[in-house]
Amino acid sequence: MSGSGEAAHVLDEEVKLYTIHISSKYLNLTRQKLELTRLPHDVPHPCRDEWWEPKSTVEPLVDYWLEKYSWREQEAEFNANIPQFRTAIQATSSDSPVRLHFIHSRSTHANAVPLLLIPPFPFTNLSLMHLINLFTTPDDPARDTPFHLVIPSLPGLGFSDPITSNKRMIPLIADMFDSLMQRLGYTHYLATNAAPSPNSISDIDWRVVNHIATLHPDSCLGVHLVSPSFKAPTMQSAPLEWLKWKTASTFSTPMLGYSQEDIVAFRQQPKQKQVPLMPGVGGVSKVFEPNTLSYALCDSPAGLLLFMLMVLRILGPKHEFSNKDLIQMAELTWLPGPEGTMRLLAHSASNADDLKPGSKRPKVGITAFSGTGARNERNGLEPSAALPTSGPDVHTCLAWGRSRYNIVSWQRVPGNAGLLAWERPDVLVDGVRKLTGVIVAHDNRLQESKQPGTALLEQVVVDGDGVAPAETSGTTIQAQETSPLPAPADKKDPAEQGQVGEDAKMQRPPTPMFPLMGEPSRETELAQDVGDASQGSSGGSPNTIRPMKKGRE
């Protein structure tokens, strides 16, 4: 027993460099299911704004997925351009470790600052690859702070294991992400979310970064919040701030820390129509129970595509995603299975955010937006309470935030937030840099060197099985220095050669899923499809991720 426990401890201290390779059996299964897709009959008068996505929108996407989209090409693009890693972290003492998949791109500049970026739910870290160079490689590093960027995938999404504990997930995720930064050698760091709080589904990414700031103030020295929806002070929690608020709102005059924008927002609040982002989540409707959706969507790639389209409708982006972008988002949820995504959504929606103030007021920078009105109210249509819709950009009241946070930087940007990471990534980067400038000016713990420059930081060479010890993984290999191994040739199985036996139906592969740490894989025979398999996939998960190898230079 002691030996196995010791081995688990060693595994828990490893950071492995990975490349992705999905078993072709699952890609073939995906194709079979898409070919068997049955869509509803046409709506006589389809209206996208009023009655959801019509057939004319969905059918071309299914056809594109079948005829033009290539996961192998997408896989190769990820492996060639994104420095990906995975490491196991113990969520709770009683549960199996959770393997987190994360991007770790170190800047070449000596004055870089460690930054933890939380992806907006339900997107994975791989969907944010376009942000890497914006943070790590500024045109003028002396003027614009560069960052060592870490983007983990939320547990249960993409290539991160789901959390098996029934405890509240948000605090667990916050602890895991802080542990990840410590393991990478970042004793102190900053953090940011990437989507506006009011339009985030269940505010998962906002709640995670808020928990990190509150629970880990000694390591997370500041957080950047996008359009946070601060709560009004109460007489019980902050009597002085409550009195200021009541006085300013009663006289409708800028005073006591309240601005004219605050006063106008207070007047407009009763007029704003409250429409639920996701009807039934956390409520009485059973249609959005996590198991209901998991069972419905794990067998239907087309159904999962519709779910992703619904999510985008909730977030209300102006950005027009290409067919490739939409299928990629669906594929990154389809391949590992949607159950982790649905479970995280249900846990977060059904548990109120009752986080108590910490011992220190977290230092925060804020990016807010001046736009008003719900983004889904197009063509004069009223949002239906029975359908998911995007919410308005709420007003961020600094005076409310100051009762709980130490607001050190602030920017209000014209227009609506939308899907910020895709539509206006420069706004996100500017907000983080404003926060960084204030904190670095008073705290030198964030930078390894205060001298700006382009000196290449020493890199660790991963040899043999591709393991980087935790104490040295702060110098993780950069994307341009990695050399992904080519995917091994797929072996032909009897089914692919047309030799299907009578019991072929019984051998149909289940939903791809990572085996839990310490468990033998339930799909070992399917993992044979990837040749000699992977030492980093813990037993040959069918969606195997193989550690990359790099020879000594």
In this predicted model, what pLDDT tens digit does every residue of 240-280 receive, in sequence order?
Answer: 777 776 677 776 667 666 776 766 666 666 544 444 444 44
Mean pLDDT across the chain, nearest whole number?
73
How far is residue 177's CA from residue 185's CA, in Å, rounded to a whole number?
13
Which whole number is the average pLDDT over 61-71?
Answer: 95
Q: Which domains does the chain carry?
A: 78-275+354-442 (3.40.50.1820)
% the chain with pLDDT above 90: 36
List the one residue out of 119, 210, 159 whose CA is nearest residue 419: 119
Confidence class for position 369, pLDDT limits 50, 70, 90: confident
Say yes or no to pLDDT of 484 above 80: no
Among 245-254, 295-304, 490-499, whose mean pLDDT is lowest? 490-499
What is the model's pLDDT at position 488?
Answer: 39
Say yes or no to pLDDT of 468 above 90: no
Among 57-61, 238-242, 364-368, 462-466, whose mean pLDDT is lowest? 462-466
Run of H or E including 332: helix 323-334
What is the model's pLDDT at position 13?
Answer: 66
pLDDT higher at 499 or 28: 28
Say yes or no to pLDDT of 453 above 50: no
pLDDT higher at 311 or 7: 311
What is the model's pLDDT at position 479?
Answer: 39
Give whichever of 24-33, 240-249, 344-353, 411-420 has the largest mean pLDDT. 24-33
What are residue 413's phi and psi, to 5 degrees? Answer: -110, 140
Q: How many CB atoms lie within 10 A of CB 83?
A: 22
Say yes or no to pLDDT of 459 above 50: no
Run of H or E including 104: strand 98-105
What is the model's pLDDT at position 359?
Answer: 78
Which residue's structure tokens are 């390591």? Answer: 219
Q: Which residues pair with 364 in a beta bridge?
A: 223, 407
List the one residue out of 365, 438, 447, 444 whose CA is nearest residue 186: 447
Q: How many CB atoms lie within 10 A of CB 549?
A: 15
Amino acid at residue number 238: A
What is the model's pLDDT at position 143?
Answer: 92
Say yes or no to pLDDT of 512 above 60: no
Say yes or no to pLDDT of 535 above 70: no
Say yes or no to pLDDT of 364 above 90: yes
Which whole number is the average pLDDT over 181-193?
Answer: 96
Q: Angle between the 323-334 and 71-81 helix axes, to the nearest 10 degrees?
A: 90
Which whole number is the average pLDDT over 516-526?
Answer: 39
Confidence class for position 95, pLDDT limits 50, 70, 90: confident
Say yes or no to pLDDT of 57 above 90: no
How far is residue 321's CA from residue 174's CA, in Å, rounded to a whole number?
30
Among 144-158, 185-199, 394-408, whose mean pLDDT is lowest? 394-408
SS3 223: strand
Say yes or no to pLDDT of 395 above 90: no
Confidence class for position 298, pLDDT limits 50, 70, 90: confident
What is the model's pLDDT at position 543?
Answer: 38
Exposure b/e, 271-295, CB count within 10 A at least 16 = b:
eeeebbbbbebbeeeeebebeebbe
For residue 54, is the peptide bond before it cis, meaning its omega torsion is within 30 degrees of 0?
no
Instruction: Give pLDDT tens digits for 316-358.
Output: 767 788 999 999 999 999 998 888 888 888 887 777 777 777 7
How far is residue 90's CA from residue 176's CA, in Å, rounded to a whole number?
8
How far is residue 159's CA from residue 519's CA, in Å, rounded to a whole number?
17
What is the model's pLDDT at position 178?
Answer: 97
Instruction: Give pLDDT tens digits for 215-246.
Output: 999 999 999 999 887 777 777 767 777 777 66
What is the model's pLDDT at position 542?
Answer: 36
Amino acid at residue number 167: K
pLDDT higher at 127 or 293: 127
How far is residue 166's CA from residue 88's CA, in Å, rounded to a whole number?
19
